Amino acid sequence: MDHPHPQESLLHSLTYRGVPVDIVSWADTVWCGKMGYASAAGAEEPDVERLMAQYMSLDHASAAQSEVDWSVCISVNYLCPSRPRGVFFGSLAAAEDQPQGFDLYHVPAAQYMRIRITGETAQALGRPPWQGGIPPYHWIGEQIAPALGYTYGDDTLPIFEYYGFYCPETGAHEFCYLYVPVKRLK
């Protein structure tokens, strides 16, 4: 990984069709930001645009966030159709005591498979480029993971899109990583 993050440790580096794939272990973490859920199980997603607007309206300077300035979109319950899907926009929290208006989201220690979301990754996987929306977790869970001896992990764990270093001049983030919980096939 080009940009290490404080909550993870690299366990293995692999390659699939020329795509770098990492297996990482995450520490128990707390995130601060804004969370919302779909109205019911089976509903597509919560109102993501409203959530993003709420997140952007928070006083981020007052929050106790990690020193690493990466943004995250956490997709909750996307691996389990019997629970309502949730979306969380936020940052790694440096403390659980946060200003009013911030939601906290706790993620237990777990193992994830990580790839970089790029046009080159999509092309190597024979997929159309990802244009936003629901993260392409199936790239990992249904294609890469089984080929490398893994399967989806605990369905109570979320899927992450990590965005680093937003550049206002280009209107884009320097990078985006996709994390999907996995476990080794037996």
Cα 168-178-81 angle, rounded to 5 deg = 120
- Percentage of the chain beyond pLDDT 90 is 53
User: CA dist 75 to 109, 118, 180, Å?
Assistant: 16, 19, 10
The alpha carbon of residue 168 and the mean position of all alpha carbons in its chain are separated, in whole angstroms, by 22
Q: Report the pLDDT averaged over residues 54-77.
A: 80
Q: pLDDT at position 123, please?
A: 95
The model's pLDDT over 129-180, given as tens digits with 9 standing for 90+, comes to 888 788 899 999 999 999 999 999 999 999 998 776 656 666 665 668 899 9
Under DSSP, is residue 105 helix (H, G, I), strand (E, B) or coil? strand
Q: Give the residue from 116, 117, 102 showing the smallest Cα distance to 60.
A: 102
pTM above 0.85, yes or no: yes
DSSP 26: E
29, 104 contact by CB (below 8 A)? no
Give all strands (DSSP E) within the chain, no chain letters.
8-16, 19-26, 29-37, 70-76, 86-92, 103-107, 110-116, 150-152, 159-167, 172-184
pLDDT, mean over the chain: 87
Q: Which one has a higher pLDDT value, 41 or 74? A: 74
Q: Which residue has the tokens 């319950």?
A: 77
Give me 127's structure tokens. Answer: 């997929």
Flag the least confident range among 65-79, 106-120, 149-163, 165-179: 165-179
Q: pLDDT at position 72, please?
A: 84
pLDDT above 60: residue 89: yes
